[in-house]
Amino acid sequence: MAFDYTPRRTKTGFWARVLRFLTRVVVWFLAISIGMTLVYRFVPVPITITMIADENGFTKDWTPLSRIDRNMVSAAIAAEDGKFCSHNGFDTEAIEKAVERNASGKRLRGGSTISQQTAKNVFLWQGTGWTRYARKGLEVWFTFLIETLWDKRRIMEVYLNVAETGIGTYGVEAGAQRYFGKSAASLSRNEAARMAAALPSPKKRGVINPRGFTRRYGNTIAARIGSVRRDGLDACIYE
């Protein structure tokens, strides 16, 4: 009687192959994500997924932070992230307040820090539905990376260069040229505040002749700029 000694594939073997595959995926993901973050620590971000996906095309003009008026930096902190210099990438208090406010049916407001927004804008996508939740998980990882491998000045520089500032417009230099016909290096306090007021929703909020909430919010941001400097909320950038 002949016996077949050919080894049979077992469930154990199958799951071992799955585990090896997943391990390789994780290793490659870690290597690529860390490598990209290190490169962007020194090299301008050339393009983002959001820019590529923009049906209006995109206009951008990378500008070093040294050529962006301090008013714009202070306005961004006043509008988006007052604890930018003191947190490690996440503002748990702001997140909790945003959840409570949104649950109560009031005007929707996010709790994302500038670091989180930078991570999303540079490495990820905007997304809706389930893709938005998938992105949020990756956003935590990339936020951790940039907070670890970049300094705060670099995070702000990248943020102000990749944030959407208008329809098909990315970065504050392109925004300043579009709205005011001038460089971001010479933005006034009110101009910077108006741009910052539109940052969360640049396709819907007007920078030129803003009305309603956007106008009031811009005025509030303009008033806060002095507090940002007086209280040293931008000290990590200009120390």
* Residue 215: inside a domain: yes
Ramachandran region, residue 232 (left: φ > 0; alpha: ψ -120 to 50; beta: rest): left
Local confidence band at 97 (pLDDT 50, 70, 90 cut-offs): confident
* Residue 72: inside a domain: yes
Question: Would you state the pLDDT for residue 64?
Answer: 97
Beta pairing class for 59-60 and 164-166: unpaired
Residues 167-178: what's their mean pLDDT?
96
Query: Helices 189-198 & 172-180, crossing angle to 10 degrees?
Result: 110
* Residue 39: inside a domain: no
Q: Which residue has the tokens 């016909």?
A: 181
DSSP state of 106: S
**Side-chain half-sphere exposure of 138, counting CA atoms within 13 A:** 20
Instruction: For residues 114 and 120, give the distance between their C-alpha atoms in angstroms, rounded to a whole number.
Output: 10
pTM: 0.88
Provide the mean pLDDT of the chain. Answer: 89
DSSP state of 169: E
* Residue 41: inside a domain: no
Local confidence band at 186 (pLDDT 50, 70, 90 cut-offs): very high
pLDDT of residue 111 exceeding 70, the answer is: yes
Residues 131-149: what's their mean pLDDT?
91
Query: What total number of domains does the chain contain?
Result: 1
Question: Would you state the pLDDT for residue 92?
Answer: 82
Instruction: Report the Cα 198 to chain-centroid distance in Å.
Output: 15
Domain that holds residue 151: 59-238
pLDDT of residue 101 exceeding 70, the answer is: no
* Residue 74: inside a domain: yes
* Residue 133: inside a domain: yes
What are 31-78's pLDDT values in tens digits? 999 999 999 999 999 999 999 999 999 999 999 999 999 999 999 999
Local confidence band at 81 (pLDDT 50, 70, 90 cut-offs): very high
Residue 158 · residue 42 · CB < 8 Å:
no
CATH value at residue 113: 1.10.3810.10
| C-alpha gyration radius of the chain | 22
Question: Would you state the pLDDT for residue 104?
Answer: 61
* Residue 23: inside a domain: no
Question: Would you state the pLDDT for residue 66?
Answer: 96
Question: Would you state the pLDDT for residue 25?
Answer: 94
* Residue 13: inside a domain: no
pLDDT of residue 95 exceeding 80, the answer is: no
Of 187, 199, 197, 189, the C-alpha closest to 225 is 189
What are 207-231's pLDDT values in tens digits? 998 889 999 999 999 999 999 999 9
Local confidence band at 133 (pLDDT 50, 70, 90 cut-offs): confident
